[in-house]
Amino acid sequence: MAFKTLDDVAVAGKRVLLRADLNVPMHDGQISDLTRIERLTPTIRELSGKGAKVVVCSHFGRPKGKPVPAMSLAPVARALGLALERDVGFAPDCIGPAAADAIARMRPGDVLVLENTRFHPEEESNDPGFSARLGALADLYVNDAFSTAHRAHASTEGVAHVLPAYAGRLMQAELEALESALGAPIRPVAAVVAGAKISSKLGLLGNLVGRVELLVIGGAMANTFLAAQGRGIGRSLEEPDLHATARGILEQAAAAGCSLLLPDDAVVAPALQPGVPTQTVPIGAVPADAMILDIGPATVATIIARLRDMRTLVWNGPLGAFETAPFDAGTTALARAVAAATEAGALRSIAGGGDTVSALRHAGVLERLSYVSTAGGAFLEWMEGKSLPGVAALAA
Ligand code: ADP
Ligand code: MG
């Protein structure tokens, strides 16, 4: 998809409304992870450096259309100032006189954060009047929030029809990485899909079987497939209602010539608890009272061997209950092999998903893959092949 970037516009002296994702994790008033803020700084530095008046807007939490003091962006604006090592202003509303007055006082290069867009119900209803009021504050719109692009809200979609719209550097990097993964990838392409539930990733599996040469299924999701094939999975987590669906996906894959790989061994335990006795068993020999909590070493070796023939990998979902040792072993081993193959130039690796990012960080490879998307829902909807409204609205 063609979209305009910061290379296509002169921003000096212009008021730029920058849609960012400042929805950072916060615990007891403290920001617990600065990743989102850090990833945003290149776009802000560039705009500011070129003499734009940078007006940042974002949602934060779920205030449900009314002001909630605990969901104010004021502390996030302070954190942004620290990350940028400069003064960052704050306006106590994202529209109206409070916003307009603060913007009127800005000089070229200044940075201002507007209060939480979701304090107004019209944000989430994508109200055209609200988009017009947001748009009236600026000359240009730059969207750097891929992670909210699956939502058609006023600040992510509506306002892109009011002002000339551009992708920020973070959005641009994300879209280019995703394009190289499933849009026009170097083939053959493999996908690893794992995690907890098939039900939440059905659309994604259906889309991938027609697009990739190899589909690896792991995690608790694989249990449903194994059970659907009549294999014993003991007391493992699974979705019995989806056996027919799982068989349908196996048939679709076969029809599309997509090779579908399921685990052939597993690490099992009586319960998902730290320090429980574990056992590695072939699929087919899972004890009736045990739970499958990770893929086994033979499966890890098979996946790594199959990936040697692949040029591109898209990965979503941990292969085991990685939060509890030793059920992180399969995911960590695969993550390190993927990182090494990427560094050797043999594989382009693109991963995303909330827990997937945690698992890759846990494995110490977050910076070693080609691209890791911190967008949860938007990344999954993109893997489903859906058009994301916030991206579509940037179409040049
Ligand atoms: P993402 O957020 O990256 O899309 P999911 O939310 O779908 O990933 O899945 C992640 C969760 O799946 C993790 O909490 C992990 O513990 C769990 N999981 C993976 N494999 C198993 C398993 N065999 N048994 C129980 N839970 C599992
Ligand atoms: Mg998750």
* CATH code at position 236: 3.40.50.1260
Answer yes or no: do 301 and 230 share one domain: yes
Q: Classify residue 272: in a domain, yes or no.
A: yes
Answer yes or no: do 277 and 131 share one domain: no
How many angstroms separate the Cα of 294 from the Cα of each of 195, 261, 323, 326? 11, 15, 11, 9
Ligand 2 centroid – CA 353 distance (Å): 7
Q: Tell which one of 355, 381, 382, 384 to mutate to probe ligand 1, the residue whose CB is within 8 A of the most ligand atoms.
A: 355
**3 state SS of 80:** helix
Q: Decide whether any atom of ligand 1 lies within 6 Å of the 299 Cβ.
A: no
Q: Classify residue 225: in a domain, yes or no.
A: yes
Answer yes or no: do 318 and 352 share one domain: yes
Final residue belonging to a domain, choices 170, 203, 236: 170
- Which residue, among 274, 275, 292, has the nearest Cα to 283 in the 3D structure? 292
Atom of ligand 1 nearest to the CA of 352: 3
Atom of ligand 1 nearest to the CA of 236: 24
pTM: 0.90
Residue whose Cα lies nearest atom 18 of ligand 1: it is: 321
Ligand 2 centroid – CA 107 distance (Å): 42
The residue length of the chain stands at: 396
Contact 334/319 with Cβ under 8 angstroms? Answer: yes
Q: Classify residue 180: in a domain, yes or no.
A: no
Answer yes or no: do 202 and 154 share one domain: no
| Distance from C-alpha of 328 to C-alpha of 281, rounded to nearest angstrom | 17
Answer yes or no: do 206 and 322 share one domain: yes
Final residue belonging to a domain, choices 135, 170, 205: 170
Atom of ligand 1 nearest to the CA of 380: 4
Q: Is 240 exposed, middle or buried (0-12, 13-18, 19+ CB in 10 A)?
A: exposed
Q: Classify residue 392: in a domain, yes or no.
A: no
Atom of ligand 1 nearest to the CA of 353: 3
> Facing residues of 112 across strands?
55, 89
| Distance from C-alpha of 235 to C-alpha of 7, rounded to nearest angstrom | 55
Q: Classify residue 175: in a domain, yes or no.
A: no
Answer yes or no: do 163 and 312 share one domain: no
Q: Decide whether any atom of ligand 1 lies within 6 Å of the 373 Cβ.
A: no
Ligand 2 centroid – CA 13 distance (Å): 42
Q: Decide whether any atom of ligand 1 lies within 6 Å of the 352 Cβ.
A: no
Answer yes or no: do 59 and 110 share one domain: yes
Q: Which helix (H) or strand (E) holds 333?
A: helix 329-343
Task: Give the range of the structural domain holding residue 204, as residue numbers without chain letter.
Answer: 185-383
Q: Classify residue 389: in a domain, yes or no.
A: no
Active site residues: 36, 197, 354, 377
Answer yes or no: do 44 and 145 share one domain: yes
How many angstroms separate the Cα of 259 from the Cα of each of 140, 199, 210, 216, 334? 47, 21, 11, 8, 19
Answer yes or no: do 342 and 195 share one domain: yes
How many domains does the chain fold into? 2
Final residue belonging to a domain, choices 170, 204, 219: 170
> Facing residues of 89 across strands?
112
| Distance from C-alpha of 190 to C-alpha of 192, rounded to nearest angstrom | 7
Answer yes or no: do 63 and 160 share one domain: yes
Q: Classify residue 391: in a domain, yes or no.
A: no
Answer yes or no: do 126 and 207 share one domain: no
Residue whose Cα lies nearest atom 14 of ligand 1: it is: 321
- pLDDT tens, the chain, 396 aa long: 789 999 999 999 999 999 999 999 988 889 988 988 999 999 999 999 999 999 999 999 999 999 999 999 999 999 999 999 999 999 999 999 999 999 999 999 999 999 999 999 999 999 999 999 999 999 999 999 999 999 999 999 999 999 999 999 999 999 999 988 888 899 999 999 999 988 889 889 999 999 999 999 999 999 999 999 999 999 999 999 999 999 999 999 999 999 999 999 999 999 999 999 999 999 999 999 999 999 999 999 999 999 999 999 999 999 999 999 999 999 999 999 999 999 999 999 999 998 999 999 999 999 999 999 988 889 999 988 899 999 999 997
Answer yes or no: do 337 and 191 share one domain: yes
Q: Classify residue 251: in a domain, yes or no.
A: yes
| Distance from C-alpha of 167 to C-alpha of 391, rounded to nearest angstrom | 8
| Distance from C-alpha of 205 to C-alpha of 193, rounded to nearest angstrom | 8
